[in-house]
Structure 1
Amino acid sequence: MQKVLIITYYWPPAGGPGVQRWLKFVKYLRDFDIEPIVYIPENPNYPIVDESLTEEIPAGIKVYKKFINEPYGFARFFSKKKTKQISAGIINTKNQSGLEKLLLWIRGNLFIPDARKFWIKPSVDFLQDVIAKENIGTVITTGPPHSLHLIGLELKKRTKIRWITDFRDPWTSIGYHKKLKLTKASQEKHKQLEHLVLNEADKIIVTSNTTRLEFSNITPKPITVITNGYDTSPGSSVTLDVDFTISHIGSLLTGRNPLNLWKALSELIQEYPDFKKCFKLQLAGVISSDVLESIYFYGLQSYTKLLGYISHHEALQYQRKSQVLLLIEIDSEETKGIIPGKVFEYMASKRPILGVGPTNWEVGDIIAKSNTGKTYTYPQIGELKSTLLQWFQEYKKEQLALPLAEVEQYHRRELTAKLSKYLAWE
């Protein structure tokens, strides 16, 4: 049986989408004669915790741990709230205090590629013995944080092991890089490290075709796309909401703020009394202040229910019983290749997806080809409003459904089968 070492920062009890990708791969790799061994930090700084995910770790999986020295502990001395937000990726560019600007500058310019850089050297020293002891042939590093790829880079130099990098998100082209107040020297350092990792790795995995095309301009190394996906959820059957619920599951960070959608919903409430009576907007996860301000500005406060952070199990339940599922991405060129992990769980729930995102958003093709909903760009208020009204009319007739949905190729086991073939070495 082939042994594979997976180096990841996010692992249960970490919550959020970042942990689920490799948790699910680990769950199914044994079905393809591959034994996964996992390496994680001993004392991580997880901005979101979901204890329920620990129940999904397969029995008997070896998990090695090593202490990590993270600077967030020091930063919390100045501002616990701001430090947690930055760690979670919440960077609000409006009304930044001097302290917040300082923390961002420090994060962007003193910790390259990221704040987990101090885990690199101790991990390399520790894992050399693990690789020899376990007779491991392949190492996989998954980022962000992209400092984990530098662990793989050094292990390859020292041990000549086969090394695969997995990019859940892009590196230098990701949107929040512009908010980190990077100096030109820091920007160049990121690009150098990105180029080095992409050209030293034996193989590369990405989650979107957009990232594959971007990386193919940097390296000739093999690149394959393995998206995120959905898993079979045991759980009891659920009953659809009585109300016309439109639910967004997951954080709505700064920038994910489709004013056209809030305006369309406001107009529907004003124009159709029955819509006003039945409509409910449900938001689960962290919601940035500017998004809430916009929602309330359009008179939707009394129709909005804030669920806060919910467990993954609860998220699946809400997805299955909501009438419509909302998917929102920042309107920018950099985000057209971002495919949120939850989109596949949305698809598996067989509830109509309403997407709002950038022009040429890759998610739009996925949703269209799978017959699971419709996506619009930010200015398309007329078309978006018509779709909502059509779905509402179908809801009133108890006919709002997706009879032609095709989602099986995105099941986690099917994706793991694809991964297992990519792990084969000639």
Structure 2
Amino acid sequence: MKKVLVITYYWPPAGGPGVQRWLKFVKYLRDFNVEPIVYIPKNPNYPLVDESFLKDIPEGITIYSHEILEPYRWAKLFSRKKTKRISAGIINTKDQSFIEKILLWVRGNLFVPDARKFWVGPSVKFLRNIIDKEQISSIITTGPPHSVHLIGLRLKQIMPINWIADFRDPWTTIGYHKKLKLSSFAAQKHKRLESKVLNSADKIIVTSATTKKEFTTLTEQPITVITNGFDRGVGQKKILDVKFTISHIGSMLSGRNPTNLWKVLSELLNQDKAFKKALHLRFIGVVSDEVLSSLSHYGLQDNLELVGYVSHHEALAFQDKSQILLLAEIDSFETQGIIPGKLFEYMAAKRPILAIGPKGWEVGAIINETNAGCIFEYTDEIELKNVLLSWFEQYKKGELTISSSGIETYSRRELTRKLSELI
């Protein structure tokens, strides 16, 4: 059985989508004759914690860890809430306080590529001995944080190893990169580091075809697309909500504010008393003040339920019983290649997906290919209204279902099969 060292910052009990990708790969790699060995920080500062992920760690797996210096711990002395949001990549661009501006400038210009850069040097020194001890010939780094890739870069420079760099998100073209108040020096340093990683890794993995297209202009190294996926039964029979529930799972931030949807729902409320009585908007996770203001502006506050952050297990239960699952992405060119991990779990829930995002959003191709729902741009209103009316009529008859197909290729186990072939 071939050994591979997986170097990752996010690992249980970390919560959120970042931890799931490599937790699930590690869970299934043994099925394909690959023995994963995992390296993680000993004392990380995770913005979200979800103990339920601990049960997915394979029994007997070898896990090494080393201490990490976390500047975000110091930043909490100034503002715990703002530091937590910046750590999670949530950056408010409106009405920033003086402290928030300072924190962003420091994050963007003193911590390149990110605040976990201090883990690189100690990790390289520590892992040299581990690689020799375990007789490891292949390593995998996954980012963000992209400083993890610098561990792979340095190890590649001093040892004869095969290095695979996995990009869960792009580096310099990610949406929040422009908000970091970068100096020209810091911006160029990001570019240089990105180029070094892309041209030094033996193989590169990305989560979308858009990112692959972008990276092919920066490197000639082989690039493989392996999306995120789901790890659960498909379309399990569940008791659905009595109400006409439209649920959104995850952070509904200011940039993901589909005002065209709120407007259409408001019109339907005013036109149809039955629709007004049945509609139930449910948000599981963080909802920005701007989104809440928009919902109030369109008179939807009485149809609203704010659940807050829940465990992954609880989130799946909410998905299964919802009538419709809402997926929204920021309306910008930079987000065309962002494929949220929850898309695939939505697909596994076998409930109609209502997706609203930028023109050319890669999610649209997946939804259309699998017939898992409908996708709209932020300017669409008439067709959006027609689809909602159609779904509402089906709901009233107890016939609101989805006839999706081909989603099994997005199961975590099948995706791990593809990864094992690459290793």
Do they superpose with TM above 0.5?
A: yes
Determine helix, strand or coil for the equivalent of 2:355. strand
**Gapped regions of structure 1 (runs ≥ 5):** none
Q: Is structure 2 residue 289 aligned with structure 1 residue 257?
A: no
Specify the alignment match of 1:348 in structure 2: 348
The Cα shift of 1:236 comes to: 8.2
Write the distance in 2 (CA, Å) between the matches of 1:356 and 1:32. Answer: 37
The Cα shift of 1:382 comes to: 1.3
Tell me, yes or no, if the aligned pair for 2:358 and 2:377 is still in contact at 8 Å. yes
The Cα shift of 1:291 comes to: 1.4
State the identity %: 64
Write the distance in 2 (CA, Å) between the matches of 1:295 and 1:59. Answer: 46
Specify the alignment match of 2:221 in structure 1: 221
Specify the alignment match of 2:19 in structure 1: 19
Specify the alignment match of 1:177 in structure 2: 177
The Cα shift of 1:25 comes to: 0.4
Deviations 1:366-399 (A, max 9, x none): 0000000011000001111111111111111111
Tell me, yes or no, if the aligned pair for 1:327 and 1:343 is still in contact at 8 Å. yes
Tell me, yes or no, if the aligned pair for 2:235 and 2:348 is still in contact at 8 Å. no
Write the distance in 2 (CA, Å) between the matches of 1:301 and 1:153. Answer: 51
| Aligned residue identity for 2:361 | W
Deviations 1:93-114 (A, max 9, x none): 1111111011000000000000
Write the distance in 2 (CA, Å) between the matches of 1:161 and 1:322. Answer: 47
Tell me, yes or no, if the aligned pair for 2:283 and 2:308 is still in contact at 8 Å. yes
The Cα shift of 1:237 comes to: 4.8
Determine helix, strand or coil for the equivalent of 1:177. helix
The Cα shift of 1:402 comes to: 1.2
Tell me, yes or no, if the aligned pair for 1:350 and 1:405 is still in contact at 8 Å. no
Write the distance in 2 (CA, Å) between the matches of 1:323 and 1:363. Answer: 20
Write the distance in 2 (CA, Å) between the matches of 1:176 and 1:405. Answer: 34
Cα 1:151–1:138 change in 2 (3 A) is: same
- Equivalent residues in 2 for 1:118-157, closer than 5 Å: 118-157=118-157
Determine helix, strand or coil for the equivalent of 1:187. helix
More deviation, 235-244/214-223: 235-244
- Equivalent residues in 2 for 1:304-319, closer than 5 Å: 304-319=304-319
| Aligned residue identity for 1:89 | G
Deviations 1:198-220 (A, max 9, x none): 00000000000000000000000
Specify the alignment match of 1:329 in structure 2: 329
- Equivalent residues in 2 for 1:40-55, closer than 5 Å: 40-55=40-55
Write the distance in 2 (CA, Å) between the matches of 1:230 and 1:389. Answer: 29
Specify the alignment match of 1:358 in structure 2: 358
More deviation, 255-264/328-337: 255-264
Determine helix, strand or coil for the equivalent of 2:307. strand
Specify the alignment match of 2:272 in structure 1: 272
More deviation, 322-331/268-277: 268-277
Tell me, yes or no, if the aligned pair for 1:247 and 1:283 is still in contact at 8 Å. yes
Cα 1:392–1:234 change in 2 (3 A) is: closer
Cα 1:331–1:235 change in 2 (3 A) is: closer
Deviations 1:107-137 (A, max 9, x none): 0000000000000000000001110111111
The Cα shift of 1:287 comes to: 1.3
The Cα shift of 1:314 comes to: 0.8
Q: Is structure 2 residue 240 aligned with structure 1 residue 240?
A: yes
Specify the alignment match of 2:419 in structure 1: 419
The Cα shift of 1:158 comes to: 1.2
Tell me, yes or no, if the aligned pair for 2:4 and 2:139 is still in contact at 8 Å. yes
Tell me, yes or no, if the aligned pair for 2:233 and 2:348 is still in contact at 8 Å. no
Write the distance in 2 (CA, Å) between the matches of 1:184 and 1:391. Answer: 50
Determine helix, strand or coil for the equivalent of 2:227. coil
Deviations 1:58-83 (A, max 9, x none): 10111111100011111111111110
Specify the alignment match of 2:108 in structure 1: 108
Deviations 1:2-39 (A, max 9, x none): 00000011111111111000011011100000000111
Tell me, yes or no, if the aligned pair for 1:23 and 1:57 is still in contact at 8 Å. yes
Specify the alignment match of 1:371 in structure 2: 371
The Cα shift of 1:278 comes to: 0.5
The Cα shift of 1:405 comes to: 3.0
Alignment root-mean-square deviation, CA: 1.2
**Gapped regions of structure 2 (runs ≥ 5):** none
Specify the alignment match of 1:395 in structure 2: 395
Determine helix, strand or coil for the equivalent of 1:308. coil
| TM-score (ref. length: structure 1) | 0.98
| Aligned residue identity for 2:352 | P
Determine helix, strand or coil for the equivalent of 2:245. strand
The alignment covers a number of residue pairs equal to 423
| TM-score (ref. length: structure 2) | 0.98
| Aligned residue identity for 2:107 | R
Tell me, yes or no, if the aligned pair for 2:3 and 2:138 is still in contact at 8 Å. yes
Tell me, yes or no, if the aligned pair for 2:21 and 2:228 is still in contact at 8 Å. yes
Tell me, yes or no, if the aligned pair for 1:329 and 1:356 is still in contact at 8 Å. yes
Q: Is structure 2 residue 385 aligned with structure 1 residue 385?
A: yes
| Aligned residue identity for 2:368 | A
Determine helix, strand or coil for the equivalent of 2:58. coil
The Cα shift of 1:233 comes to: 4.6
Determine helix, strand or coil for the equivalent of 2:26. helix
Specify the alignment match of 1:300 in structure 2: 300
Tell me, yes or no, if the aligned pair for 1:91 and 1:254 is still in contact at 8 Å. no
| Aligned residue identity for 1:187 | A
Determine helix, strand or coil for the equivalent of 1:247. strand
Tell me, yes or no, if the aligned pair for 1:248 and 1:284 is still in contact at 8 Å. yes
